[in-house]
Structure 1
Amino acid sequence: MVFFGNSRNSGNIGAGAVTYTPKKSFGQKIKDMVLPKKKRKAVDPIAPTSFRVLRVRPYGTKYTPTLDTPTPAATVVTTTPATVTLASTPATLAASGSSSGDSKHNSAELSKLKQLEETTKNIPRYLFRACSPASGGGLKGLNTTNGIFPHAFVDPNGVRLPNGGNKSIHDIPFQVTRRMAIGHLSGHRPVRTDPTYSQFSSWAATFALVLQYGYSRASQGGLICVLDRYNLPKNTKVYHCPDMMRAGLCDSSYDHEYLVHGPVEGPGFKAVTVQQLVDMGLYNEIPCVLPHSARYWWGPIPQRDWESLFTAKEFSAKQVKTLRKIADEFGKDFALPVLAALVTLDRRKLDKNGKFGDKDLKTFADAVEDLYIPEEYGTERSIVPPEGVYVQGYPMVAQLVGLLKQLVEYNYGRGVRARRRIEVEDLSAELGALGLPGKKSLDLGEKAGRLSTSFAFGVSDVPVVAVA
C-alpha cells in the first residue's frame, strides 16, 4: 500500500516476486505521474494574475489520482487515492496553528498586515451596500434589516453562530485570508466546510453605485444599507481592496469596493428597503442613478467625462427638504451622512478651489440644524477621516467628502464665533424684551459651552425653562 507523501519507497510485493529497486523509486514515479507540477500548484498558495481568470477554485476539492503507466509484470501495486483533508470549520482552522495569532504569519506577512491596519485610518466613516435575500447565493440570514452577516457567521438555517468565523484576519493564516478574499470578490463560494468560506461582506463609498444596483432589486425585497465604522462591533474591521492588494491579500484593485470582516450590526448599521425609497420618490429626485441614465457607476469616471455628462446644479432648498425626508428613514444617527450622500449624487457647482458656495452650504446646514453630532466629531474623530480618502475617479465621493469637511469647518472653524455672537445678541434682545436675563448671562453660558445655534450642530443645546 502506497500513501503519497508518506512512504514514497515502500511497495506491497506479491509472493515469490523479486524486489525491483530502480534508481528512482517506483512510488516516486507514480507520484510524479499523478501529481505533475501543474497539479501540485493547486494546493500551493495561489497567485493568479487576475480574478478574471479564476473560474475554478484551486482548492476545496478532493483529488483522486489515476494510473496511466503500466506497472512492471512482477510487481502489483495497490494505491489509495490521495485526499486533501480540510478543516471542518473556520474555528478549527484557527486552531491548526499555535494559540498565538502571530505564529500564523511570518515576519513579511506580519509587516504587510501592520501596514494594512494603518490604511484603515483613511477609510470613509460611512459606507453603503445594496443587497437582497438572493445576495450571497440566496442563503438565509445573510442580509437582513438587523444586520449583514457573512457566510461563516450563520448556520445553514440562517441562525447566527455565536462562535462563527474568526475575530480578526490576524487569526487566520495569511494565504487562507488571501484565498478567501479572492474567492469572495470573484463570486466563487466554496462548501461550508472549506476554511475559506467567506467571512467578508462587500460595501462601497459610492452611493450612486449602491442605489443603481439596488433599483433592480426593489421587487425582490432589496435593501439599501449604511454603516458607521465608528460604531461597528469591536472586532469588525473595514478594508479597502486596493490596500488589500498591496498587502498581498487581493489580486486586483477593485477600487470601488471595501471588504468588511465580521458581522455588521448594532448602532453602526441601518437598512431601508429599496421599495420604500422608490415609493418616496428618490429615483425621481436623483434620476442620474437610474439604470437607464447616462452611465452606470460601476467604475471610475474621468473628471472631463463627468463634466460633459452632467450640468452643474446649485442646491435647491425644496429638493434638499424632500431628500431630508428620505434620509430620515435611516434614523437620526444616519440622516446627516445619507442626506449629504444624496445631495452630492448630482454634479454641483463648485468654486475654483473645488468648494461649495456659501449659499449652498447654508442651505444644507439649515436642513440639518436639528441633528445632533457630538462636538468631538469636528476634531480627532471627525465625520470626515484624515486626508487620504480614496476619491480618484469618483467625483460623487469627492463631493460628499468635500461637503462634510466644509460643514465641519462651518460649525467649528473660522467664522463660527462671529455667527454665534450675532445670534446671541439677537436672542439677548428677545429675552430682554420678555424681562428675562440678557446678554451678560448669555455670555457666561457661552463660555461654559452650554450654547448652540442653528448652525453649530453638535454643541449642547441651551436649557429652556418654561415661563408661566
Structure 2
Amino acid sequence: MVFFSNSRSSRNIGAGTATYTPKKSFGQKIKDMVLPKRKRKAVDPPPSSFRVLRSRPYGTTYTPTVEAPTPASTVVTTHPVIVAPAPTPAASTALAASGSSSSSNAKHSKVDLQRLKQLEETTKNIPRYLFRACSPTSGGGLKGLNTVNGIFPHAFVDGNGVRIPNGGNKSIHDIPFQTTRRMAVGHLSGQRPARGDPIYSQFSSWAATLALVLQYGHSRALQGGLICVLDRYNLPKHTKVYHCPDMMKAGLCDSPYDHEYLVHGPVEGAGFKAVSVQTLIDMGLYTEIPCVLPHSARYWWGPIPQRDWESLFPAKDFSANQVKTLRKAADEFGKSFALPVLAAFMTLDRRKLDKNGKFSDKDMKIFADAVEDLYVPEEYGTEKSIVQPAGVYVQGYPMVAQLVGLLKQLVEYNYGRGVRARRRIEVEDLSAELGALGLPGKKSLDLGEKTGRLSTSFAFGVSDVPVVAVA
C-alpha cells in the first residue's frame, strides 16, 4: 500500500504549483476498477518505478523512493551460471530416442488416444465392399488422383500426378489429432489447402450403397468417369476405412455423413477395380436399372424412409434375362468382384420379399444359377458378412439391406440345409439320364455318394469331378 501511495505522489514531483491534475470522476474510478489489467495499462500507464521493481535482482533489499527512477538500461540482473558436462555418445543416443518417443506421444493426449482406440474398434464392422464414382476432374482436377490403377489421395501424389514414395502418413495415429480433424473436415467440405499444408487430404470418399455411386457417376460419363469398388480384406496393410458417424463420435468429424466412408491412404492392388461409366452405359446397365438415372425418383445422398421406398418403387421379381445382362456388366470388374457387384446391381431395385424379409426360392435359384461358376465365400453368411448389420446404417438404406440379405441367403442356398435335398434331386435326375443311356443307374450313384466319390462341388462354384461308376 505504501508503494502505490508513493508512486502516485511521485507523478507530480517537479511540477509547478500551477499544474492542476483534474480529480477523477466517479465513472472513471469505476472504469479503472472494472477494465482488465491490460486495457487499464493502456489508459493509465503505471509508473516507471514498477518496471525497476520487476527488474531488480532477487534477494537484494529494496526501499521505495520518490526520487527519479534509474533508467532500465543501467539495471543489471545477475543469474547463476550452470555449466553442464558434454553428454557421452551413448547418452546422446538415449536422449535422441527419448526425445523421439516423447514427440510421438505428444501428438495425442490420453483422451485422444482413447478416442482413436475406440475408432479402430469400429473398423471391424465396416462393409467389406465399398463403391466410389470419380473422374479426372474429381479432387480439383489434379493429375494422378483417380485412375484405373488406383485411387491416390492428394498427399500421396505430386503436382504431375506421380506417386510420392513417402507421401502422406502410414496411419492417422502418426498425425496430430487436431490435424487429422482439420484434414477430415476440410476433405468433407471440399476445401483444398495448398500442397504441403499439414491438412492436405490423405483421404478418399466411398459409399456402401451403389445407388449413390451410379447416380453420381452417370453425370461424369463424358468426363472419363469411373465406377470403383474396393475389397477391404485385400487393401494394402496400412490402408484403413472409417465410417463418418464413427469419426464424428471420435471428434474427427463435425457431421455424421451417414452415407460416406473415408479411406486413409492409397487404394490399389488386388483390393481395387475400376470400370468406366461409359462402358457400363454401353452394356445396358442403366437401362436395366433406371432407378439410378439422375432424373429418376430421387438422389441417394441420404437415408430414405421405408414408406417412401415402398411408394416410389414397385416391388419386382428377379428376371433371368436381367440377371444375364447385369452379369455381363459385373464381369467387367473381374472374377474377384463379379459376385458382390452383381448382387449389388440386383438389389438396387426394390425386390419382393416375404414377411421375414427373405427372397423367394425362385429368385434365389435364378441368382444362384447365374453365379454357379463363381466362388461364394462361406463367410458371407457369418459374422464376417459382406456388410455388418451393426456397422452400417442398414435402416434408411433398403438397397444395402437387400444386398446383405441376398448374399446371406446365397450362402445358405449353397452351404445350408437345402443343399442335401437339392443334391438328391440332381442325383435322381442324373440317374434317370444315365439309365436312358444304358449307363449305371441310381444304385451305383447312391453307392458312389456313400463312398465319397460323387461330386457335390456344384454347390461350391467349382467344376464338377466326373462320377466314377462302381461295379
Question: TM range, normalised to the smaller chain?
Answer: 0.7 to 0.9
Q: What is aligned with 1:206?
A: 209
Offset at 1:289?
A: 0.9
Structure 1 Cα separation of the partners of residues 133 and 146 of structure 2: 10
Give the counterpart letter for 1:313 in structure 2. K
Q: Say whether residues 1:297 and 2:300 are aligned partners.
A: yes
Q: What is aligned with 1:264?
A: 267
Q: What is aligned with 2:465?
A: 463
My pick for the range that moved more, 385-394 or 182-191, is 385-394
Out of 144, 166, 170, the position equivalent to 2:169 is 166
Q: What is aligned with 1:195?
A: 198
Offset at 1:339?
A: 0.8
Q: Say whether residues 1:232 and 2:212 are aligned partners.
A: no
CA distance 1:292–1:122, change in 2 (3 Å)? same
Q: What is aligned with 1:253?
A: 256
Q: Say whether residues 1:157 and 2:160 are aligned partners.
A: yes
The question of whether the paired residues in 1 share the 8 Å contact of 2:453 and 2:467 is answered with: no
Q: Say whether residues 1:121 and 2:124 are aligned partners.
A: yes
Q: What is aligned with 1:391?
A: 394
After TM superposition, the score normalised by the length of structure 1 is: 0.74
Structure 2 Cα separation of the partners of residues 439 and 99 of structure 1: 71
The question of whether the paired residues in 1 share the 8 Å contact of 2:427 and 2:445 is answered with: no
Give the counterpart letter for 2:347 in structure 1. T
State the secondary structure of the residue aligned to 2:452.
Answer: helix
State the secondary structure of the residue aligned to 1:330.
Answer: coil
Cα offsets for 1:165-190 (capped at 9, x unmatched): 11111111111111110000000011
CA distance 1:186–1:170, change in 2 (3 Å)? same
Q: What is aligned with 1:130?
A: 133
CA distance 1:418–1:100, change in 2 (3 Å)? farther
State the secondary structure of the residue aligned to 1:438.
Answer: helix
CA distance 1:380–1:461, change in 2 (3 Å)? farther
Out of 433, 444, 447, the position equivalent to 2:451 is 444
State the secondary structure of the residue aligned to 1:196.
Answer: coil
Out of 285, 297, 314, the position equivalent to 2:288 is 285
My pick for the range that moved more, 241-250 or 291-300, is 291-300
After TM superposition, the score normalised by the length of structure 2 is: 0.74
Give the counterpart letter for 2:238 in structure 1. N
Structure 2 Cα separation of the partners of residues 305 and 212 of structure 1: 18
Structure 2 Cα separation of the partners of residues 195 and 201 of structure 1: 16
Q: What is aligned with 2:222?
A: 219
Offset at 1:291?
A: 1.0
Give the counterpart letter for 2:256 in structure 1. S
Offset at 1:420?
A: 2.6
Offset at 1:356?
A: 1.2
State the secondary structure of the residue aligned to 1:363.
Answer: helix
CA distance 1:108–1:431, change in 2 (3 Å)? farther
Structure 1 Cα separation of the partners of residues 413 and 221 of structure 2: 37
The question of whether the paired residues in 2 share the 8 Å contact of 1:98 and 1:104 is answered with: no
Structure 2 Cα separation of the partners of residues 443 and 378 of structure 1: 28
Q: Say whether residues 1:357 and 2:357 are aligned partners.
A: no
1:391-410 to structure 2, matched below 5 A, reads: 391-410=394-413
CA distance 1:277–1:175, change in 2 (3 Å)? same
Structure 1 Cα separation of the partners of residues 357 and 302 of structure 2: 22
Cα offsets for 1:54-84 (capped at 9, x unmatched): xxxxxxxxxxxxxxxxxxxxxxxxxxxxxxx
My pick for the range that moved more, 205-214 or 428-437, is 428-437
Identity %: 80
Q: What is aligned with 1:88?
A: none
Structure 2 Cα separation of the partners of residues 295 and 216 of structure 1: 15
Give the counterpart letter for 1:237 in structure 2. K
Aligned length: 376
CA distance 1:445–1:380, change in 2 (3 Å)? farther
Out of 115, 138, 154, the position equivalent to 1:112 is 115
CA distance 1:362–1:353, change in 2 (3 Å)? same
Give the counterpart letter for 1:309 in structure 2. L
Give the counterpart letter for 1:356 in structure 2. F
Structure 2 Cα separation of the partners of residues 195 and 441 of structure 1: 67
The question of whether the paired residues in 1 share the 8 Å contact of 2:126 and 2:387 is answered with: no
**Relative to total residues, which structure has the larger helix share, 1 or 2?**
2
Q: What is aligned with 1:184?
A: 187
Q: Say whether residues 1:148 and 2:151 are aligned partners.
A: yes
Offset at 1:427?
A: 4.1
State the secondary structure of the residue aligned to 2:457.
Answer: coil
Offset at 1:425?
A: 4.7
Q: Which runs of 5+ in 1 are unaligned?
A: 1-22, 30-95
Structure 2 Cα separation of the partners of residues 207 and 97 of structure 1: 44
Structure 2 Cα separation of the partners of residues 309 and 446 of structure 1: 52
Give the counterpart letter for 2:124 in structure 1. K
The question of whether the paired residues in 2 share the 8 Å contact of 1:445 and 1:451 is answered with: no
The question of whether the paired residues in 2 share the 8 Å contact of 1:231 and 1:268 is answered with: yes
CA distance 1:181–1:444, change in 2 (3 Å)? farther
1:416-435 to structure 2, matched below 5 A, reads: 416-427=419-430, 433-434=438-439
CA distance 1:155–1:434, change in 2 (3 Å)? farther
